[in-house]
Amino acid sequence: MDILKEISVRLQQGDDERVCELTRQAVEKKVPPRAILDEGLIGGMNIIGERYKAHEIFLPQVLLAAKAMYAGTDVLRPLFVKEGMPAIGKVVIGSVQGDLHDIGKNLVGIMLKGAGFEVIDLGNDVPPERFVETAEKEDAAVIGISALLTTTMPVMKRTVDLLEEKGLRTKIRTIIGGAPISEEFAKQIGADAYGYDSTNAVESVKRLIMANESD
């Protein structure tokens, strides 16, 4: 079996030790690090995302695959730093102020990392100012905001409004998600996208970053 294909398969099985070992072998065989990442690690994680979306697998399998992906990316990271290889884009994520729920947000973070994004996870109970300040400081292209409580949903609007006040709405895009959130609510508050699940959120973030680059 081709080594990149085997990395993908082992990642899907959640075999972090074997993924780590195979990634090292691929590096020793002079396989380009970007190919290892794109075809092996991200390729495997994309399949996991599709299977999760189709309800063929569940959260524990996604988390095991993510652990295997991190094992592989840890081997590649020094090479990327050395080559100055950029991530696809930088995304700031967090659950809004007053909301301590983060399972959905964590899963989106895993999927974004699996797709090659650099993710800055602010955790939960994040005020609008911190989302915006971090995105500015880190030169992030997208802010991803999660809420599970209807009472915390207005904080999402305050974050979008703050970007508007600072003149950053065209530079930093926003995507929102969570159980009580809808496409209609996203449009109502001026968010750029609504992610109805983790796989869709990744697709939406890719579109937002492409929109940023074309502006």
79 and 126 share one domain: no
pLDDT for the residue numbered 107:
85
Among 45, 67, 83, the domain boundary falls at 83
Pinpoint the alpha helices (H) of the chain: 3-12, 16-28, 33-35, 43-53, 59-83, 103-114, 128-138, 153-165, 183-189, 198-214
- Total domain count, the chain: 2
23 and 67 share one domain: yes
Is residue 82 predicted with pLDDT exceeding 90?
no
Assign 211 a pLDDT band (cuts: 50, 70, 90). Answer: confident
CATH number for 7: 1.10.1240.10
pLDDT for the residue numbered 86:
66
CATH number for 96: 3.40.50.280
Q: Which domain holds residue 71?
A: 3-83
200 and 104 share one domain: yes
List pLDDT tens digits, range 153-190. 999 999 999 999 999 999 999 999 998 999 999 999 99
pTM: 0.77
List pLDDT tens digits, range 119-146. 999 999 999 999 999 999 999 999 999 9
Among 83, 100, 133, the domain boundary falls at 83
120 and 197 share one domain: yes
